Amino acid sequence: MITTIIIRTRFVAFHCWPEAPDVVAFLRNKHRHEFWVEVELYVEHTNRDLEFFICKDYIDSYISNYFTEQYLENMSCEGMATALLVQLKLPVKSVSVFEDGENGAKVEHN
């Protein structure tokens, strides 16, 4: 059996997609999103192996240092999720990042 916990958080930032197709040309310009993040963490037992509040504070701290209210240039949801997956010092199974809680990307370890 594999057990995980899930931490969800949100942050505001700006980005753009310079190579956007003509049909969505507006994405070439700097625009704002509320990015929704979901981090899935492995745990070894069912009695608070990792505590939700502590993990969320740690993830929020990382995000506030690297992403919040900043211009992320052309960083995609995939890029943000990958950065979190690689940089967080937690037993991460997967990270998902969504634009405005709708469309997004998920990355996970092989």
pLDDT tens-digit profile of 95-110? 999 999 999 999 998 8
* Domains in the chain, CATH or no CATH each: 3-108 (3.30.479.10)
pTM listed for this prediction: 0.94
Reported as a single tens digit per residue, the pLDDT across 26-71 is 999 999 999 999 999 999 999 999 999 999 999 999 999 998 778 8
Cα–Cα distance measured from residue 72 to residue 74, given in angstroms and rounded to the nearest whole number: 6
Taking each helix axis from N to C end, the angle separating 52-66 and 77-87, rounded to the nearest 10 degrees, works out to: 120
Give the residue among 67, 12, 14, 60 at the shortest CA–CA distance from 34: 12
Is residue 14 within 8 Å of 70, Cβ to Cβ? Answer: yes
Q: What is the pLDDT of residue 3?
A: 96
Instruction: Name 104's Cβ contacts closer than 8 Å, sequence gap at least 6.
Output: 36, 77, 81, 96, 97, 98
* Res 79 pLDDT > 80: yes
Q: What is the pLDDT of residue 94?
A: 98
E strand or H helix that includes residue 103: strand 103-108
Q: What is the pLDDT of residue 110?
A: 82
Q: What is the pLDDT of residue 15?
A: 95
